[in-house]
Structure 1
Amino acid sequence: MKTLRTQVKIQFVIILLLVFYLGWREFVEENHPSGVKEASMDMESVEREGLEKVGTTKLPNYQAFIVPTPDEALFAGEKIRLLEPDLRERFDREIHVNANWHSNTILMIKRSHRWMSRISEVLKENNIPDDFKYIVAIESNFEESAMSHKNAVGFWQLLEGTAEQYGLEVNDEVDERRDPIKSTVAACKYLQDAYDKFGSWTSVAASYNVGMRGLERRLDEQKVDSYFDVLLNDETARYMFRVLAAKAILEDPGLYGFNIAESERYSQPAFDTVKVEKTISDLVDFAHEHGITYKTLKRYNPWLRSDELTVKKNTYEILISKDPVEQYVVQKLD
């Protein structure tokens, strides 16, 4: 009985509050007919202005970079005519991908500054055209430890068998595919062999993707003698044009909107070179003895795969950074 009376009282209070609210609303609308509507309109106006501000700050700042397609390109002294629709579209695709793939291309430009001049020197020493340095850009984006799903490794993405064929050491402790200079020397040997076979530097570059035998077989099957006349799988068909796009952007980054100051590009420190003729049982201790951390040691010597280095018949050269910021004093614990 008491519960029923309590519920009735609560319902009565709710009804009184509702009547009071409706009476207040009617009073406001009679005396200030535009008050509620104006408040509502003000809120809509604020929301609309906010949306407009978002729109005007975001949309005009995004502009896709449109690149005119030239009538011809040049690679290793060989002129490539881009008048055929297929060739124009293939170049057009790669230059636009790289010009608008900002994060990847910015890093490519920054990293290239660290190694391009040294790679050029090695190519020149081995009589290979300088334009082949752009293969490193598309193979590994100048990452020494890059690895593909096929286990190709390093700047030049060499498979283990190919690396050993051209004089590199690959084992549990050492992988010279990760050495930018030694791997470049090995790549030069391959490129010269390919040129001896094809007599065309553009065909040499294409064979770097599909292999000498692979390119030769496809040329023979289709009875043509040029990479630009043969039907290939998508990856190889894109390959030469990816090289040309990387060359165009790295030769003149500002032309494609990449205005990266010299100070913002990556650089190498000065090094001391330690010649290693005896086994090092602990590379951590070796690093500390030379005033750097193990991390810094591996950073500039990525070809070292283990924490020890066994010397049998080969000798090695280890780079020790002289950058004061990377010097390390070992704290000895009592």
Structure 2
Amino acid sequence: MYKKHLITCSVIVVLFVLSKLFIYSTTLKKTVVKVKPKEDNDVPVLDTATLNFANEPVPVHDPKVAGKLSHSLKKQSFKQTHNNLMHLRAAKLFKVIEPILKFYGIPDDFKYIPIVESGLEQGVSPKGAKGLWQFMPGTARTYGLKVNSAKDERLNLKKSTVAACHYLKELYGEFHNWTLVAAAYNNGSIKLARQMKVQKKRNYFRLRLNHETGRYIYDLVAVKQMITKPGELGYNYGQPDYLSFN
């Protein structure tokens, strides 16, 4: 009799534990939130009055310009939804880059060039550009960087940023427009000047350029928005190492 009673009690205990586990499992499932990616036509609504590069306005009233900017914003949104390491690295590197840009009179927005050019990685491009500022060997030497088998100062953040400032100031002396300066940094001053002469236009947003340079300013503005106004693109920062998408 005692044995039967013990077995009955054991069964009741097991059933009780299983019921608790089921309830816990059900509750746990309900707390898991799956992120639904934004649809292609779900374009962030931005304050267009503040959209600019180096205080030069982006003419988003032009449908073509608005379309290209929307594409760049969605591209950057997709990248950063899956990875917030760039934001963490940028915050650290900007502490070095910002005061150097300010000292040489370069607009603060040029700090986003290393993100677009290299993704803040020190790798080498197929063409041989290297470092955060993606200097070609010849250009690097022209602006005071040592590039040889023993030393490559393109990998030195401070020195390469100073070299970039000298290059950017020289480009501004040629183009007198910071948006064109950024485009020339990507495409080369000779190629950009040639296109401006052939097309008889001095407005970046009216020029027909190669795919990379034609998207360059849009990508810079998109990265700027991503970092300075993440809320407009649907991001919330929680813990220092966590980025969530609404």
* TM-score normalised per structure 2: 0.78
SS in structure 2 of the partner of residue 61 of structure 1: coil
Counterpart CA distance in 1 for 2:78 and 2:183 is 24
Alignment partner, residue 62 of structure 1? 36
Query: Of the candidates 240, 247, 264, which is equivalent to residue 217 of structure 2?
Result: 240
2:153 is the counterpart of 1:179: no
* TM-score normalised per structure 1: 0.59
Verify the 8 A CA contact 1:210 1:236 in the aligned structure 2: yes
Q: How many residues align?
A: 209
Greater RCO, 1 or 2 (C-alpha within 8 Å, sep 6+): 2
Q: CA RMSD in A?
A: 2.2
Alignment partner, residue 103 of structure 2? 125
Structure 2 gaps of 5+ residues are: 1-29
Alignment partner, residue 10 of structure 2? none
Alignment partner, residue 228 of structure 2? 251
Counterpart CA distance in 1 for 2:191 and 2:82 is 29
Alignment partner, residue 186 of structure 2? 209
Please state how far the C-alpha of 1:146 moved relative to its aligned partner. Answer: 2.1
Deviations 1:72-101 (A, max 9, x none): 521112122111111111101000111122
Verify the 8 A CA contact 1:70 1:82 in the aligned structure 2: no
Query: Of the candidates 123, 137, 142, which is equivalent to residue 160 of structure 1?
Result: 137
Query: Of the candidates 105, 111, 117, which is equivalent to residue 89 of structure 2?
Result: 111
The 3 A distance-change label for structure 1 pair 105 and 223 is: farther
Counterpart CA distance in 2 for 1:117 and 1:187 is 16
Alignment partner, residue 11 of structure 2? none
Ranges of 4+ aligned residues in structure 1 off by more than 6 Å: 56-59
Please state how far the C-alpha of 1:254 moved relative to its aligned partner. Answer: 3.8
Q: 1:259 is matched by which residue type in structure 2?
A: N
2:212 is the counterpart of 1:218: no
Which structure has the larger Rg over C-alpha atoms? 1
SS in structure 1 of the partner of residue 221 of structure 2: helix
The 3 A distance-change label for structure 1 pair 152 and 103 is: farther
Q: Which shifted more, 105-114 or 232-241?
A: 105-114
Verify the 8 A CA contact 2:46 2:232 in the aligned structure 1: no
Please state how far the C-alpha of 1:222 moved relative to its aligned partner. Answer: 0.4
Counterpart CA distance in 1 for 2:116 and 2:140 is 19
Q: 2:167 is matched by which residue type in structure 1?
A: Y
**Amino-acid identity (%):** 36
1:80-159 superposed matches below 5 A: 80-102=58-80, 106-143=84-121, 145-159=122-136
Counterpart CA distance in 2 for 1:204 and 1:148 is 21
Please state how far the C-alpha of 1:58 moved relative to its aligned partner. Answer: 9.6
Alignment partner, residue 27 of structure 2? none
Counterpart CA distance in 1 for 2:230 and 2:46 is 16
Verify the 8 A CA contact 2:112 2:223 in the aligned structure 1: yes
Q: 1:117 is matched by which residue type in structure 2?
A: K
The 3 A distance-change label for structure 1 pair 262 and 59 is: closer
Structure 1 gaps of 5+ residues are: 1-55, 266-334
Counterpart CA distance in 2 for 1:88 and 1:210 is 22
Please state how far the C-alpha of 1:225 moved relative to its aligned partner. Answer: 1.0
Deviations 1:251-308 (A, max 9, x none): 123443443446328xxxxxxxxxxxxxxxxxxxxxxxxxxxxxxxxxxxxxxxxxxx
Query: Of the candidates 57, 68, 76, which is equivalent to residue 54 of structure 2?
Result: 76
Q: 2:185 is matched by which residue type in structure 1?
A: Y
Q: 1:239 is matched by which residue type in structure 2?
A: Y
SS in structure 2 of the partner of residue 259 of structure 1: strand
The 3 A distance-change label for structure 1 pair 215 and 136 is: same
The 3 A distance-change label for structure 1 pair 250 and 59 is: closer
Verify the 8 A CA contact 1:75 1:131 in the aligned structure 2: yes
Counterpart CA distance in 1 for 2:32 and 2:185 is 43
Counterpart CA distance in 1 for 2:179 and 2:189 is 12
Verify the 8 A CA contact 2:183 2:217 in the aligned structure 1: yes
Counterpart CA distance in 1 for 2:45 and 2:145 is 42
Counterpart CA distance in 2 for 1:134 and 1:233 is 20
The 3 A distance-change label for structure 1 pair 189 and 104 is: farther
SS in structure 2 of the partner of residue 263 of structure 1: coil
